[in-house]
Amino acid sequence: MIPKVKVAYSKADNEKHFRGLVTSCDGTFATMAEVVASLEAPRVKKVRPVHSYKGYLTIGDINKYDNAIAIDVERYPRTKRATAQSASKYVAPQESAGKKGEAIQGGNVTLQRTYKIKRDGEEVEVEKEELEKAYLYGRTIVNISDADQDVTKLETAAELSIVGFVDKAGVLTSILEYADVRSLSGTWR
């Protein structure tokens, strides 16, 4: 018969053994109190700055004048929009309220769109490709084709351009009354 040996491990002994195991594996050890304290403060995710503009700052029209200047510029936003952290869309398994023993299976939620139109007073489901783009003009719906849509688009290019300068005396003060215009030496007024 093997004699039973009573071993009394204290919480401190357990913590010491687990800390040794975790540090030998290059892991991170924390007590439950430390975990709860760390959850109170949100973790800040370092983000790589993304430029909002990358191109040239031109002073004068470089296509028209020889003495025009083009300076390579990258503009970065100083602030970032704060949004809530994203969570995965998931439905937990539940028991159905209707019949006993019937359960709703859990799983990821996916987006599914259906398009319906009224045809002869009845709603009919149609594919997205069958729909046409239209705009409301007053109370009239005006259809627009893809070819017409392309014609209406204004072709632009992102740029920062200073076309020219005007003497301070040449600017009407009535224009500046509604704008907060500042010069290097202070407010214009």
Q: What is the pLDDT of residue 32?
A: 82
Which residues are CB-contacts of 166 (< 8 A; sequence separation ≥ 6)? none
Token pair listed for 89:
């869309």
From residue 68, how far is each of 7, 55, 57, 77, 163 by CA, in Å? 87, 16, 11, 27, 10
| Cα–Cα dist 175/188, whole Å | 11
Q: In the chain, where are the structural domains located?
A: 9-42, 50-75+159-189
Contact assessment for residue 102 and residue 96, using Cβ atoms and an 8 Å cutoff: yes
Contact assessment for residue 11 and residue 18, using Cβ atoms and an 8 Å cutoff: no
Q: What is the pLDDT of residue 180?
A: 58
Which residues are CB-contacts of 23 (< 8 A; sequence separation ≥ 6)? 29
| Cα–Cα dist 164/128, whole Å | 49
Q: What is the pLDDT of residue 188?
A: 47
Reported residue count of the chain is: 189
Q: What is the pLDDT of residue 108?
A: 75
**Termini Cα distance of the chain:** 103
Per-residue pLDDT of the chain (189 residues; tens, 9 = 90+): 666 656 666 777 888 888 888 888 888 888 888 888 888 877 777 778 888 889 999 998 888 888 889 999 998 887 777 777 666 676 777 776 666 656 667 777 777 889 998 888 899 999 988 888 888 899 998 888 888 888 888 888 888 888 878 887 877 777 666 655 555 444 544
Q: What is the pLDDT of residue 19?
A: 85
User: For the whole model, what pTM was predicted?
Assistant: 0.38
Q: What is the pLDDT of residue 189?
A: 45
| Cα–Cα dist 153/15, whole Å | 67
HSE-up of 7 (CA within 13 Å, CB side)? 6
